[in-house]
Amino acid sequence: MYNWRGGRNLEEFAKSFFNHQRLLPFLSDYIIFWEESGETKKIVLGFHQIRAVEKLVERVAEGKKKHGLIWHTQGSGKSLSMIVAAHKLRNLPALENPTLLVVVDRTELEEQMDRNLKNYGFPNVEVARTREHLQELLARDFRGLIVTTIQKFDRMPERINERSNVIVFVDEAHRTQEGELGVYMRASLPNAFYFGFTGTPVDMTKIGRGTFLTFGRDDAPHGYLDKYSITDSLHDGTTVPIHYTLAPSEFLVPKEILEQEFFKLVEEEAITSVEDLDKKVLDRALKLRNLLKSKDRVEKVATFVARHFQENVEKLGFKAFLVGVDREACALLKEALDKHLPPEYSQVVFTPGHNDEDFLRQFHLQEREEKEIKKNFLKASEQPKIIIVTSKLLTGFDAPILYAMYLDKPMNDHALLQAIARVNRPLAGKEASNPKSAGLIVDFVGVFEKLERALRFDSANIEGAVIDLEKVKESFVKLLEKGEKYLELVGKQIDDKAVERIVDYFADRGNRKEFLVFYRELEQKYEIIAPDPWLRPYLEHYFLFSGIYKVLRAHFGPKIPQELLRKTIQLIREKAGVAGLERTLPLYPIDERTIKLIHEDSSPERVKIIKVHRSIQILIEEEGKKEPFLLLFRERLEKILEEFENRQSTTKETLKKFEQVILEINEAREEKKKLELDGEQFAMYWVLGDSDQDKNRRKETASALAQLFNQYADWLENPEVSRELRRRTFANLYSVTGNTEGALTKMNQIFQLESEIHPVK
C-alpha cells in the first residue's frame, strides 16, 4: 500500500494528491523505473522523500541559504532521495548546467552509489578514481555528477572551483565532516551548496551537535531542513521495529570488564562508525577481546547460534548476521559454527590484510566472490544463510531478508544503531514468503542491559524502534487476557456448535474486523517469541484463537486473504489430531431442494446467510469452468452479502435475495438442458436474456459470438486482434439490443466472462 501523508481524511488526501500542480511532477519525477540485474522495477517515492527533494531543490533555486540537513532514518531511501534531487537540479534551467557531487566516506558506499546511479539511468556520471582524478574533474570545470569519497579531498587546493552552481551531497553527514577532510572540501569549493544526509539521530551526542552546526545552521531552531523519524518510518511501514534479547547470562561479559574496557573508553571518544569503534576503542580493549575469543566461549556461542537459527530464523525463511569482535573472532566463529551447521550455511566477509597469517587468509575473498555472496544472501533459496562479519556490511548493505543479528561485539550510539538497522528493512516482493514484522538482535555481550547507555539519543527519536523482547512477552500475555471474550464462543474445543456460534458472532463485520486486528497482533508476537519454552502455559489458548481464525478463513475467505504465519502453521500441524480446526458448517446443495432446506434449518438467520453464501460461492468456484453461466452470479452474490454487512438489507431480505439467486440458477440449468447449447454458448445466451425475448434469435446470436471468440482465440495477448473482435462483437450485439449503451454493457459482460473462462496462461 502506498502511504500518502498529505491530509487528515480521504477528501484532504485526494485533494492533496490529485492537485494538478503536484500530480504532474509526481508522474514525471517521482515514479522511477529501476534497471537491476536485467529486470525493470517501478519504484514510487514516498511522501517523505518527495517532501525532502522539493525542499532541497527550492532552497538551491532561491540561492539564499547554502546548507541543509536531511535527517531521514535508516532504511527510508536516502540514496534514492539524493539521486532524484540531483536529477531535478541537473535539469533546472536557472542553474545553468551545474556540477553535483555525492560524497561518501568508504569505498563500498562509493561503489553502491555508482551502481544505484546506473540503475536509475543518471546521465553524465564520473566516479573519482583517485585524489588526482577528482582534482582534475573540479579544475577543468566538469559539468555533471561526481561520486567520490571524502578521503580524496585530502590536500585539495583551495578555491579549485569557485562557481556557485556546485551542489554537494554528503552521505552519512554525521561522520568525517568536522575533521580536516571536511575543511579541505569546503575550502576547495567555497561557494558551493552543502546538503548533509544522515540516517541516525544526531542531537544528543558530541558529534551530533557538531552535525547540526555544520549543516543545520540555516534552519534554526530545529537544525534540519527535513526530518523523517524512526517513528514516522514505522508508521509508514518503510522499516520494521527491532526486538532485542540478551543471550543467557553465561555468555555475557562481566560488568566490570565491559565498564572498564568499553564504556569508559567510549565516553572519551566521538564514535560515529564501526571503523571508529574498532580503531579508537576495541583495538585498545585487549582483555575484552581475548575474553570474547576464548575457545570455550566461542564454542558455546556457535552452539547457541546454530540451534537458535534453526528454530527461530530458518523456519521463517529468513537469514542472519553473526558479528564478531574482530576478524580473528569471525574466523574462529566460522570454524565452530561448521561443527553444527553445513559449511555452506555460513560465509565470513571481512577486509583482508596484507600481513594476515594463513588462518585468516583462508577467508580472504576476491571482489567477485564477495559480490556473489552478497547477491546470493538476498535470495531465500540461495546459500549462505548466515554471514559472519565484524565491520564490513554493517553499514550500507540493505538485505530485507536479514532478520536476526547475533551480536558478539560491544557497540554503542551511531555505530550500534547503524549496525542493528540492517535488520529493520521490511521484506516485500517475490522473496516475501513469510511477512517480516520485526528484526531481532540477540546480544551476547550485554550492551543492551541498559538501553539508554547503549543508545544515547533523545528517546523520542528511537521510541518504538528498539524493543526489549521481554516487553513483547508481557504484551502477548495482555493480549491473551484481552481476547478472553472470544474464547467464550468456543469453550474447550471447536465443535459443530462452537463453529456455529463463531460464524453467528462474526457475521457482524465490526466484530470480525476487531478480532482480525487482535489476532494479527497476537500472531506476530507469537512468531517472534516461539519456540521459547516460556510459551508453554499459553499454547492451548493461542491454539484456540488460531482455530477461530481458521473458521473465519473457511467461511469469510476472500475477506480474510492472509494465511497463517509459519510457526503458527507448525503448531497446528503438531496438534493435527485436535478436533475443530478444519471443521466448517455444512453446505446446502444448490438444487430444487435448497430453499426448503434453508427454511427447515434451525440455525440462526445470520448463520444461514453465511452458509448459503458459501454454498453458492463454492458451487461457482468448482463448477464455473464447466458451467460458465454460474460466473455471471459472482458479482451479484458478493453485492448481496455486502449490503447485508453494511446493514442496507435485513437478514430476511438478504435470505430472500439469495433464494432468488438459487431459483435463477435452477432455472438456467433447466433451460440449458432444453436448448442443448455447450457451456460457453449458454453463458452468452444467458447474458442476452433481458435484451431479446426471442429465444431462437438469442440462441443464434450466442452461437455466433462463441464462434467469434473461438476464431479470435488470442485476443487477450494481441491488441489488434482484440480490437477487431470487439468491433465484430459490438456489431452483433447492437443488432440485438438496438442501442449503443445496451450493446456496450453486454459486450463488457461477455468480455469479462471470456477472460475468466480462458485466462492468459
- DSSP annotation of 218 reads G
Torsion of the alpha carbons at 98, 72, 412 and 310, rounded to the nearest 10 = -110
Of the candidates 32, 450, 394, the residue with the CA atom closest to the CA atom of residue 252 = 450
Structural contact between residues 603 and 611, judged by C-beta atoms closer than 8 angstroms: yes
Q: What are the distances in angstroms from CA 280 to CA 38, 109, 443? A: 43, 22, 22
pLDDT the model gives residue 554: 84
Measure Cα distances from 490 to 133, 431, 483, 487 in Å: 74, 37, 12, 5
- Residue 728 in 3-state DSSP? helix
Among residues 463, 495, 481, the alpha carbon closest in space to that of 583 is found at 495
How close are the terminal C-alpha atoms of the chain, in Å?
A: 27
Pairing label, strands 466-468, 242-246:
parallel
Tell me the CATH number of domain 10-236, given options 3.40.50.300, 3.40.50.1110, 3.30.2130.10, 3.40.50.720: 3.40.50.300
Q: Please, are residues 439 and 244 in contact by the beta-carbon 8 Å criterion?
A: no
- Per DSSP, what are the bridge partners of residue 440? 243, 404
CB atoms within 10 A of CB 167: 26
Q: How far is CA 244 from CA 401, 420, 424, 442, in A?
A: 17, 10, 12, 6
Instruction: Retrieve residue 271's grid coordinates.
Output: 564514535
Q: Name every residue whose Cβ is closer than 8 Å to that of residue 281 and which is 6 or more positions away in sequence.
A: 262, 265, 266, 269, 271
State the Cα–Cα distance between residues 48 and 709, nearest whole angstrom. Answer: 49
Residue 87: other Cβ atoms inside 10 A = 20
The rounded distance, in Å, linking the Cα atoms of 465 and 424 is 9
Strand partners, 406: 322, 442
Distance CA 531, CA 567 (A): 8
Low-confidence ranges of the chain (pLDDT < 50): 1, 207-208, 577-580
Helix (H, G, I), strand (E, B) or coil at 70: strand
> 127: which strand partners?
147
Per-residue model confidence as pLDDT tens digits over 29-65: 899 898 887 788 888 898 899 999 999 999 999 999 9
Calpha distance 728→717 (Å, rounded): 18
Q: How far is CA 461 from CA 71, 127, 297, in A?
A: 11, 35, 35
Specify the pLDDT at position 345.
97
Whole-number Cα distances in Å, 479 to 545, 568, 750: 11, 16, 49
Q: Is the dihedral of CA 293, 295, 296, 298 positive or negative?
A: positive
Question: What is the Cα–Cα distance from 136 to 700, expressed in whole angstroms?
Answer: 81
* Environment class of 361 (CB within 10 Å of its CB; exposed 0-12, middle 13-18, buried 19+): exposed
Contact yes or no for 87/434 (Cβ under 8 A):
no
What single letter denotes the amino acid at residue 396? G
DSSP string, 696-715: HHHHHHHHHHHHHHHHTTTT
Cβ-Cβ contacts under 8 Å for 507 (sequence gap 6 or more)? 606, 607, 609, 610
Non-local CB neighbours of 449 within 8 Å, separated by 6+ positions? 246, 252
Query: Where do runs of H (alpha helix) occur along 624-739?
Result: 634-645, 651-675, 679-687, 695-711, 719-737
Three-class HEC string of 500-515: HHHHHHHCCHHHHHHH
CB atoms within 10 A of CB 221: 5
SS3 145: strand
Point out which residues pair with 407 in neighbouring strands: 323, 443
Listed in sequence order, the DSSP H helices in 243-326 are 255-258, 264-267, 274-277, 286-292, 295-308
pLDDT digits (tens, 9 = 90+) for 531-562: 888 999 998 899 888 888 888 888 887 666 56
| Among candidate residues 267, 150, 278, 149, the one with its CA nearest the CA of residue 205 | 267
CA pair distance 477, 465, nearest whole angstrom: 21
> Three cell numbers at 402?
536479514
pLDDT at 579: 45
**Superfamily the domain 242-464 falls into:** P-loop containing nucleotide triphosphate hydrolases (3.40.50.300)
Selection from 59, 77, 185 nearest residue 134 by Cα:
185
The amino acid occupying position 702 is: A
199 in Cβ contact with 73 (< 8 Å) = yes
* C-beta atoms surrounding 114 within 10 Å: 16
**CA angle at residue 657 from 654 to 660, to 5 degrees?**
155
- C-alpha span between 364 and 377 (Å, rounded): 18
